Amino acid sequence: MKLTQMWLHQLEMPLVAPFTTSFGTSQTKHTYVVELRAETSAGPVTGWGECVAMEAPLYSAEYLHGAAEVTRRWIAPALFDQPHLSAESVAHHLDHLIGHPMAKAAVEMAVLDAQLRAAQTSFADYLGVTASTVPSGVSVGIHDDVPSLLRAVGGYVEAGYARIKLKIKPGADTEPVAAVRAEFGDELPFQVDANAAYTLVDANHLQRLDEHNLLLIEQPLGEDDLRQHAELASLMRTPMCLDESIHSVKAAADAIALRAASVVNIKPGRVGGYLQARAIHDVCRAHGLAVWCGGMLETGIGRAANAALAGLPGFTLTGDISGADRFYAEDIVTEPMRMHDGVVDVPTGPGFGVEVDRDLLARFTTDVLTLTPEHT
Ligand code: OSB
Ligand code: MG
């Protein structure tokens, strides 16, 4: 295909409730949605992607305005230059640009959607996914007090979610974890996520989580603490899972070689796109590590793509792919993802299988950046 135009729709979407992690509280989802138009052998097509970078560099080094800027100045021009662009060649054309996986992923995602729509192929078929549903887990933020946490978890358990993940931080860890176990019993599939809030000095304290029979502990230490995660993993019974540390296929290979983790959270945005995400799935599966699909409060576009990815056979643990209503009263797609019976459906339509609702998109849009071959 040949790219002809690209738009970055900057959005602010209110959350149904504040979401607190060890690095902060959000009330609003900030993102940009990539819309691109391309000429293909099947005629002109439109593709959609979204950027998972957060407003501030608290989860990862990238931040939303930086991602838009690097897209405007370097990513878009490099792709507008290509006479024969394909989703599979995007990473190659952007390889000379160091870092910025989330910015690259958003654009690759839109190219992939356009390519699949032109071929009338679903993302699931492209991946070779035959599952029609995937289990649906929910990420629960840090709460100010245990009763409100138990009410929130109770609501999700009642709704039928297949797995609960609880955010933790120093001072909000063993007590809320013990309270959830006591209230909902040993059968509840239950895991925790520290978002890099601890250091190896906390090893003795973190060992106290072992008694709660957790599925895993996600990213207790820093992004570049692979060796220290390996040491902590050897001191804990709870399986070690990495999120922030796995920003590339190489990082996944290093984590495996160092025995830093036995489980990997795969977030397509964090690793530079859905094709890198699949490669990490393949490497982990070949080495006997379990993977699951993480989330970044995606809109309906990313949520649909994640549901298809999570249908690959190595995704043996339940992902953070909740119904859209876990975060949003209104999504930007015509058919927001619904959790039912503990699962979400793998979309079957062309591309990612969702249609953006222009009215809803406009409602949440604060600005639009138009990129063309001439103006970049
Ligand atoms: O660490 O998994 C994380 C959201 C924002 C940033 C980091 C994380 C998360 C979540 C939410 O846990 C997962 C979801 O989208 O449901
Ligand atoms: Mg995480």
The finding on whether 59 has its CB within 6 A of some atom of ligand 1 is yes
The three-point CA angle 84-125-293 to 5° equals 100
pLDDT value, residue 376: 60
Q: Average of pLDDT values for 172-179? A: 98
pLDDT value, residue 28: 98
Between the alpha carbon of residue 257 and those of residues 223, 230, 248, the distances in Å are 17, 10, 14
| pTM > 0.75 | yes
The finding on whether 108 has its CB within 6 A of some atom of ligand 1 is no
Q: How far is the CA of 139 from the centre of ligand 1 (A)?
A: 7
Q: Average of pLDDT values for 17-31? A: 97
Nearest CA to ligand 1 atom 7: 296
pLDDT value, residue 275: 98
Closest CA to 126 of 264, 252, 278, 293: 278
Cβ atoms of residues 94 and 78 within 8 Å: yes
Question: Mean pLDDT, the chain, as a whole number?
Answer: 98
Neighbours of 171 (CB within 10 A): 10
Q: What is the pLDDT of residues 338-359, one digit of tens each?
A: 999 999 999 999 999 999 999 9
The dihedral sign for the CA sequence 319, 16, 110, 358: positive
Residues pairing with 292 in the sheet: 265
Nearest CA to ligand 1 atom 1: 195
Cβ atoms of residues 301 and 318 within 8 Å: no
Q: Which ligand is nearest to the CA of 243?
A: 2
Q: Average of pLDDT values for 177-193? A: 98
For residue 218, the ligand 1 atom closest to its alpha carbon is 1
Q: Average of pLDDT values for 287-311? A: 98
Q: Average of pLDDT values for 82-105? A: 98
Residues 6 or more apart in contact with residue 374 via CB below 8 angstroms: none
Cβ atoms of residues 290 and 281 within 8 Å: no
Residue 375 has pLDDT above 80, yes or no: no
Give the confidence band of 153 by pLDDT, cuts at 50, 70, 90.
Answer: very high
For residue 165, the ligand 1 atom closest to its alpha carbon is 12
What are the tokens at 153?
């978890």
* Residue 231 three-state SS: helix
The strand ranges marked E within 243-330 are 263-266, 290-293
The finding on whether 238 has its CB within 6 A of some atom of ligand 1 is no
Report the alpha-carbon distance of residue 350 to residue 124 in Å, rounded. 9
The finding on whether 320 has its CB within 6 A of some atom of ligand 1 is yes
Q: Average of pLDDT values for 121-146? A: 98
The finding on whether 328 has its CB within 6 A of some atom of ligand 1 is no
Q: How far is the CA of 75 from the centre of ligand 1 (A)?
A: 26
Report the alpha-carbon distance of residue 260 to residue 321 in Å, rounded. 25
The region, left, alpha or beta by phi > 0 then psi within -120 to 50, assigned to residue 190 is beta
Q: Which ligand is nearest to the CA of 327?
A: 1
Domain annotation for the chain: domains and CATH numbers? 2-120+355-375 (3.30.390.10), 124-345 (3.20.20.120)
